[in-house]
Chains A and B, each alone.
Chain A
Amino acid sequence: QKEVEQNSGPLSVPEGAIASLNCTYSDRGSQSFFWYRQYSGKSPELIMFIYSNGDKEDGRFTAQLNKASQYVSLLIRDSQPSDSATYLCAVIPTADGLTFGKGTHLIIQP
């Protein structure tokens, strides 16, 4: 069974610090990796996607991928209270459907 694992948290980070969110996946053939943010009671929204090994930066967000270790992470710099949400890691193992982790609940403390 193809799985995506995340620490459920909560992960508490002081405002202005770097929040680091981690995810591992079981299907070595996975090619596409996504980070979604979900506020309580709302639907998931895409933050970042990454296909290649290494880092990808977009504003305060950096996605990191290491296919050899089957590991993907999301860094949030200069964390803001508005970043408090659940962050879902998602992987496309084969065709088109996404396999989601259960998410990490992030709390940014003012």
Chain B
Amino acid sequence: DAGVIQSPRHEVTEMGQEVTLRCKPISGHDYLFWYRQTMMRGLELLIYFNNNVPIDDSGMPEDRFSAKMPNASFSTLKIQPSEPRDSAVYFCASNQARAYNEQFFGPGTRLTVL
């Protein structure tokens, strides 16, 4: 299994631009999570899906952030418009339905907003 796949691995954009991050979870996993990691705030849960349905988006910082999961093998996290304070590493993770809740993380997308 290839593990969780994220793209792009690095993204540099200018303030005000739209940014779309992509994730392919491990096949057969029912849950998908989006996290953001910064030095100041650590690793924060943004939103998670169960069977493609958003369950909890209370961690999404602002309306500028949106996430979708159109099918079991693909999810996107969109930031529009982007701001410099959005600069962070964004991780996607997936796991099976409450096995023992081990989450498998993707390699992350390092986002820099200038």
Contact = CB atoms under 8 A, between A and B. Distances in A.
Interface of A: 32, 34, 42-46, 49, 88, 92, 95-103
Contact of B100 (A42, A43, A45, A49): A49
5 contacts: A43-B107, A44-B105, A49-B101, A96-B50, A103-B43
Interface of B: 31, 33, 41-45, 48, 50, 55-56, 59, 91, 98, 100-103, 105-108
Given A88-B43, A99-B45, 13 more contacts: A32-B100, A32-B101, A34-B101, A43-B108, A44-B91, A49-B100, A49-B102, A95-B56, A97-B33, A98-B33, A100-B45, A103-B42, A103-B43
Secondary structure call for the B interface: strand
A95 B31 CA distance: 12
Contacts of A49: 100-102
Contact of A100 (B43, B101, B106): B43
